Amino acid sequence: MPTRASTRHHPHDDAPDTADAFRRLAVLPPGAERDALRGEIVEAWLPMADRLAGRFRSRGESFDDLRQVAALGLVKAVDRYDPELGNAFESYAVPTITGEIKRHFRDHMWTLHVPRRVQELRNRVRSASQDLSLSGSGRPPTVAEIAEHADLSEEDVRTGQGALDSFTALSLDAELTSGDDGYSLGDTLGAPDPALDTVVDREAVRERLAALPEREQAILYMRFFGDMTQSSIAAELGISQMHVSRLISRCCGRVREQVMRDQDDGA
């Protein structure tokens, strides 16, 4: 029975003794023997990788997916570990695996794109809020209390609070809690205003229309803004309907050519 002094201690209870295997791996050339030894090392450390993945299982991701991400981090740690540096493998593997899992949450689990700094603020605000809620005050913590507890400014706390609901998003078909039945979130969204194109067109021709002779301006105004027929315009001005038709076609063609030329010059 080994004495306490001779018993090897690891920071983690499930850390296998693979020091000799890593030393052999470091000198083996690429090939089947090296691949087999590498696989044995990865398999030996998988229980610890699974345990590290279990720390994150309450954050909305399936445990199977977390295990896969942790295994990927473990493989990276095995490939990058240098036993000649003298550090125990677990001291290198744990932060590598944990970092891979956190990177997975940061890059793949946020429905909305949120800058990394805001994600970190969100996590600190969430953690501080949970700690303060356990104090037994019976009320939600204030911004000032969260700021003091998390060592943040109140502005950063508000930024973090704004990101609390960014991890997931509601469907546009989600029914709102207020209003009539069947009233969904999508019903509150606006739509492109078709009149915007009209505004753009009017502004594009405004100067060119103002440069037309007064009679041509009057004819175009009566036709397109007064909604008058060509015969009504002809009767108003005392000219033939054919003359009105030719004037409208000529004016519209001239304005169109000038606007297109202005656009080409601007480009």
Stronger pLDDT, 182 or 227, i.e. the higher one: 227
DSSP string, the chain: ---TTTS---SSTT----HHHHHHHHHPPSSHHHHHHHHHHHHHHHHHHHHHHHTTTTSSS-HHHHHHHHHHHHHHHHHH--GGG---HHHHHHHHHHHHHHHHHHHHS-SS---HHHHHHHHHHHHHHHHHHTTS-SSPPPHHHHHHHHT--HHHHHHHHHTTT-SS---TTPBPSSSSTT-BGGGGS----THHHHHHHHHHHHHHHHTS-HHHHHHHIIIIIS---HHHHHHHHTS-HHHHHHHHHHHHHHHHHHHHHHHHHH-
Query: Whole-angstrom Cα distance, residue 55 to residue 111?
Result: 22
Q: Is the pLDDT of residue 207 over 60?
A: yes
The closest alpha carbon to 262, from 209, 181, 189, 208, belongs to: 208
Q: What is the third-level CATH fold of 195-266? A: Arc Repressor Mutant, subunit A (1.10.10)
pLDDT in tens, 64-115: 888 999 999 999 999 999 988 888 899 899 999 998 988 887 666 555 566 7
Q: Where in the chain are the domains?
A: 19-108, 111-166, 195-266
Banded pLDDT at 5 (limits 50, 70, 90): very low
What pLDDT was estimated at residue 111? 58
- Architecture per CATH, 111-166: Orthogonal Bundle (1.10)
Q: Mean pLDDT across the chain, nearest whole number?
A: 81
pLDDT in tens, 213-226: 898 989 988 998 88
How far lies 91's CA from each of 68, 139, 254, in Å? 21, 41, 79
Least reliable range by pLDDT among 59-68, 110-119, 251-260: 110-119
Query: Whole-angstrom Cα distance, residue 143 to residue 155?
Result: 9
Model-level pTM? 0.43
- Architecture per CATH, 19-108: Up-down Bundle (1.20)
Joined together, the tokens standing for residue 97 give: 């695996």
pLDDT in tens, 133-166: 887 677 888 999 999 988 999 999 988 887 776 6
111-166 and 195-266: identical CATH topology: yes
Banded pLDDT at 2 (limits 50, 70, 90): very low
